[in-house]
Structure 1
Amino acid sequence: MYRILFVLITSLSILPSVGMAKETCASENQCIEMNNWDLGIAIGWGQKSNPLKDFDDIPLFFIPTVAYYGEHWFFDNGNLGYTLAEQESFTFNLVTSYSLDRAYFYRWDPSNIFLNRGTQVEAKAITSMSLSTEPEREFNSLETRNFTLLGGAEAFIYTRLGIIRLAYTHDMFNVHQGSEAQIKWTYGWDYDRFIFEFALVFDWKSQAVVDYYYGVRPSENAYWSEQYQAKSGWDKGAEMTARYILTDNWDLLLAVRYTLIADEIAASPLLDQDYSSTYFIGAAYRF
């Protein structure tokens, strides 16, 4: 009995992996055998752009994958899940996940394992009078954005035109008391030794999530803490992954992702761009 393998593809897109289950799959290279650990590592070069003002982009060198699927329980790159229902046309799971937003602030966030840290650059002093009455977006040291786990439910709907994922999760440890939701459509096809996957992603973040990560505290900047009022919003993204199967263990990989950040988030003075892009090219080994 097997489950479809989206571990390497999903992690290369810098997203939390998710438990996607079915009884059959196209080939062994696309499957995880149940009741066995699936371990892998991708080695290569890439970069994840950082939309935060005065933070460096994040290089990608090593991306590990760790997954285990039992009859009901599964572990997938740091996320736990339990399958409540599994049919030919759908799967329904209880899951945990972690937000991607904190990864822009901290090196050791789970989304940045084996990535170089984005370092904050000190703001330059103003050397001339500005013609604008709006103060420069200069900040004191940012307060801590703590890590938290989200818990909730996800559903996969399997169709001939692709796989649809619907998910809703909520902060489990009262760090920000916010919620996130996702609508994702994935379509994959293979040709000879090539495997391609394309996805469209819509990620919703509640006002509490947006305010916690992108809101400005009074200690950081008194003016902007009053001017910016967080609101909920939808990020919109597209992903593409191409794999070429060299051997039973080795694949060549190309992964790209582009996310258009919600207007409500891009309006935060902590950001200086309204998008984030990721690319990675290299090789992946499955143990």
Structure 2
Amino acid sequence: MKTLNAFLLTCIFFPVSSWADTVDSCESEYECIETGRWDIGLALGYGSRSNPLKDYDDIPIYLAPTFAYYGDDWYFDNGNIDYTLVEDEKYTINLTTSFSTDSAFFHRWDPSNIFLTQNNKFESSSFSTMAQPTVMGEDRRVPDIDELATRQFTYLGGIEAYIYTRAGILNLSLTHDLLNVHQGTEAKLKWFYNLAIEEWKFQFALVFDWKSKEVVDYYYGIRPSESAYWNEHYKAKSAINTGLEFTSHYVLTKHWDLLFLARYTKIADEIVASPLLNEDYSSTFFVGTAYRF
């Protein structure tokens, strides 16, 4: 889930959601992280995250460590720190932090490429050749984009809620730029469903990821210094990406699992319209083994 990535998070190791404060132990049908102890894991395998940006390479994934600690009211999870405001059998409300994900396409070692997804208590190249659009029925070569200015990583903070139903879990979040990089806002709605069949554990998820105009403009807009033409002709708008996710693991022993992860994100038309992109989607997969210490 909050989805640069080639480290994977505990949700890759243990995709079935858990309730550390509402379950007395981890000896249930759910995998969970015990309160008051570090949870450390390491995955080895092969995977890749496709990069929709022109002239930027896909992001390989070979090694994936994970680190998490859950206290009574707060938790640290692969760089994110959350604080629980309200916890009930039917819902939980947290103050939350998360990495930006868009900067990951521009930087190989961006934290989101290191922390590809976030666990929860329950669960460089330059641009040289641009497209040649059709204008008034005629093909016309448009100006090239000069070397891109740096798109910075930022940290997001806000509030989130988990709502537990028989049909799965809903996760809603609203976060804002904490480091004053783009002063934008993001909102996410994620539904996920967990299924356990003997030693197999599965998680299915559907994600809607809204980004404000400020976010889209900062990462995918064109500065005047990069191209006066595209600065004038591409105007950023707020956008909603949609995604599908599937995670499974097979328990071999107390410490070893087999892993498989697949994700697909349909990038919003408002972002695809940017001359920086040549794909309207991003996909991720990983297959390997994981060891839990």
User: TM-score if structure 1 supplies the norm length?
Assistant: 0.88
Of 168, 174, 188, the residue aligned with 1:168 is: 174
User: Aligned ranges for residues 140-159 of structure 1 at < 5 Å?
Assistant: 140-159=146-165
Q: Are 2:105 and 1:100 aligned?
A: no
Distance 1:174 1:200, change over 3 A: same
Distance 1:177 1:124, change over 3 A: closer
How many matched pairs? 271
Match of 1:89 in 2: 90
Q: Which runs of 5+ in 2 are unaligned?
A: 1-7, 117-123
Match of 2:140 in 1: 133
Distance 1:156 1:279, change over 3 A: same
4+ long deviations beyond 6 Å: none
Match of 2:228 in 1: 222
Distance (whole Å) between structure 2 residues aligned to residue 122 and residue 211 of structure 1? 17
Distance 1:159 1:182, change over 3 A: same
Match of 1:271 in 2: 277
Q: Are 2:29 and 1:31 aligned?
A: no
Of 89, 103, 128, the residue aligned with 1:123 is: 128
Residues 19 and 74, structure 1, Cα contact 8 Å, conserved in 2: no
Match of 2:76 in 1: 75
Higher relative contact order (CA 8 A, sep 6+): 2
Distance (whole Å) between structure 2 residues aligned to residue 164 and residue 20 of structure 1? 14
Q: Which runs of 5+ in 1 are unaligned?
A: 1-5
Residues 100 and 156, structure 2, Cα contact 8 Å, conserved in 1: yes
Q: Are 2:238 and 1:232 aligned?
A: yes
Residues 224 and 269, structure 1, Cα contact 8 Å, conserved in 2: yes
Distance (whole Å) between structure 1 residues aligned to residue 208 and residue 19 of structure 2? 18
Residues 127 and 147, structure 2, Cα contact 8 Å, conserved in 1: no
Match of 2:119 in 1: none
Residues 84 and 92, structure 1, Cα contact 8 Å, conserved in 2: yes
Residues 21 and 86, structure 1, Cα contact 8 Å, conserved in 2: no
Q: Which amino acid aligns with 2:39?
A: D
Residues 12 and 280, structure 1, Cα contact 8 Å, conserved in 2: no
User: TM-score if structure 2 supplies the norm length?
Assistant: 0.86
Distance (whole Å) between structure 2 residues aligned to residue 255 and residue 33 of structure 1? 24
